[in-house]
Amino acid sequence: MRNKKLLSTVVASALVATMALPVMAADGDTVDVEFTTKTPVIRVAVPTSILAAVDPLEMNTPGTQIHSTAFTLANKSEVPVGIDVKSVVDLGAGVTLADTRAEAMASQAAEAWIAVAAETSNGKYIETANKTAGDLTDTDKNVATFRTEASENSASQTFYLNKASVGNTTYTLIAPVATGGTTAAEYKEQLTYAQVYELTEQTYANEAALLTALKTSDVYEGAGDADNTTLTLIPAGTTSYSAFATSKKYFKAGADNALTSTTAAMTDGKKYVYGEGGEGDTTAFRYIGKLGQRNTPWSDSDINAMHITYDIYGLTDEKYTEAPKEHGLYIDGPQVRMTADGKISVINVDDADYQSMSLNDGSQDWPMGDSDGTWVWNAPASGKKEFTLGDGWMDFFAGKTVTATVTLKDGTEITSAEVTLPAASTP
């Protein structure tokens, strides 16, 4: 027993000494910390084209005389993204824009209300039962009306889309060539909504040399350097890498997006890398409109082209989470939305400004207090607040068409679109 006790004491003493050594430093010693730059891989997939038409007889969608298929945005990035989308329309001679749907419908001239409508859920542009995109007006929050500003007829919207699943990003080396393969110009068209970085080949004698490079930057590894070779990202800060082999190819990526850079633009004969993750958030928008009742027929020469431009940028998880948005569309100003499962979202309303909420089923207003459902008030104070109706109210409103109205302390009232709650189930 005595020996055991003595042995334990010796081991403990050695352990204390070993642990203490790394944190003992004489006065005046310094520790150098090297910073690396981590550039996120951003890629948003979009359709290569969409169909659009001037549709005076509303043959495609009743209620709208401007028709288009959906323009889908799918985030395949390793970070959440913001996408500023601007649509510019080319109008024929003498055609002017109306500010509202009603104004265009009452006009006897070459006047058109043209708008871009964002999805409110997958495949839907309006949640009200038995209504379609043709029922939307300039007052709907997912609709942006085209305006004439600085000699440009345009409408803009911003989308925030969440990232793809972590760890699912694949990296591809591309090597554009002038002949006998894919050219730089062709790659630019294919990868318009991506970030593409020029690669510089590196030579490392051994694992130690690679690890030295990894102290300051990411390194990409591949079995070769041919077009469409799959690369492996070795993140900066990696401290061991047993997969190193002199037979492999190693690269460092530039800091500027070669698709947008004016000083290091994508050119034939060089090598580049881009990444693509799994499916993150997806949303879409389309075009709608109404035409004035002029004497001459409307045609595609009156509204002859649409140009879509964009700006894509990465977001922190925190900014994405706190941003007021609905199905990806960034929402400005106070908003209220109700869904058929009894959830009422209140967006962009400060806690200090909120006063009360009520529901209306066409017969009267029904005030909603704390005992009528469950509130979730998210930080920050002006973030999203969600109220879930209690079972009693869900039964009461079953099968009815309901709106939710939030009243602010200054008297402002914000009302949701109509929603029809599911009918009561039959026992």
pLDDT at site 10: 31
Q: Residue 104: phi, psi to the nearest 5? A: -65, -40
For residue 386, give the 3-state DSSP assignment.
strand
Helix H segments across 252-336? 317-322
pLDDT at site 191: 82
Over its C-alpha atoms, the chain yields an Rg (Å, rounded) of 29
30 lies in some domain: no
**234 residue type, one letter:** I
Q: Which residues contact 212 (CB under 8 A, 6 or more apart)?
A: none
19 lies in some domain: no
106, 125: one domain: yes
Kind of pairing between the strands at 401-408 and 354-360: antiparallel
83, 221: one domain: no
110, 205: one domain: no
233, 143: one domain: no
Q: Which residues contact 301 (CB under 8 A, 6 or more apart)?
A: 92
12 lies in some domain: no
Query: Per residue of the chain (427 residues), what is the pLDDT tens digit?
Result: 332 222 222 333 333 333 333 444 445 667 777 665 556 667 787 877 788 999 999 999 999 999 999 999 988 887 899 999 999 999 999 999 999 999 999 999 999 999 999 999 999 999 888 889 999 999 888 999 999 988 899 999 999 999 877 666 789 999 999 999 999 999 988 887 677 889 999 999 999 999 999 988 889 999 999 999 999 999 888 999 999 999 999 999 987 888 888 888 899 999 999 887 777 899 999 999 999 999 899 999 999 999 998 888 889 988 898 788 889 999 877 888 888 889 998 887 888 889 999 999 999 999 999 999 998 876 566 667 889 999 999 999 999 999 999 999 999 899 988 889 998 766 5
258, 153: one domain: no
3 lies in some domain: no
Helix %, strand %, coil % of the chain (to 5): 15, 35, 50
Residue labelled with tokens 């190819």: 249
Q: For the range 343-348, what are the long-range contacts, defined as Cβ-Cβ under 8 Å and sequence gap of 24 or more?
A: 343/386, 343/387, 343/388, 343/389, 344/386, 344/387, 344/388, 344/389, 344/404, 344/416, 345/384, 345/385, 345/386, 346/384, 346/385, 346/386, 346/387, 346/406, 347/384, 347/385, 348/324, 348/382
Cα–Cα separations (whole angstroms), residue 236 to 36, 113, 115, 138, 219 = 7, 52, 46, 49, 7
**Closest of 237, 186, 243 to residue 216, by C-alpha:** 237
27 lies in some domain: no
158 lies in some domain: yes
190, 229: one domain: yes
118, 191: one domain: no
pTM (2 d.p.)? 0.64
How many helices, marked H, and strands, marked E, lie in the chain?
6, 29
pLDDT at site 166: 63
Strand partners for 359: 366, 404
Q: How many domains does the chain have?
A: 3
pLDDT at site 417: 80
Cα gap 201→192, rounded to integer Å: 25
**Closest of 217, 286, 204 to residue 245, by C-alpha:** 204
Cα gap 83→414, rounded to integer Å: 27
Kind of pairing between the strands at 335-338 and 343-347: antiparallel
**Closest of 319, 333, 194, 323 to residue 266, by C-alpha:** 194
**Closest of 378, 36, 64, 382 to residue 217, by C-alpha:** 36
Cα gap 386→338, rounded to integer Å: 10
Cα gap 324→393, rounded to integer Å: 27
**Closest of 259, 257, 310, 306 to residue 82, by C-alpha:** 310
Q: For the domain that residue 403 is a member of, what is the CATH number? A: 2.60.40
Specify whether the CB–CB gap between 419 and 360 falls below 8 A.
no
Q: Which residues contact 33 (CB under 8 A, 6 or more apart)?
A: none
48 lies in some domain: yes
49, 126: one domain: yes
308, 354: one domain: no
For residue 374, give the 3-state DSSP assignment.
strand
| Tokens representing residue 177 in the block | 């060539």
155, 49: one domain: yes
250, 338: one domain: no
pLDDT at site 139: 84
128, 179: one domain: no
263 lies in some domain: yes
Structural domain boundaries, residue 214: 170-275
Cα gap 393→414, rounded to integer Å: 21
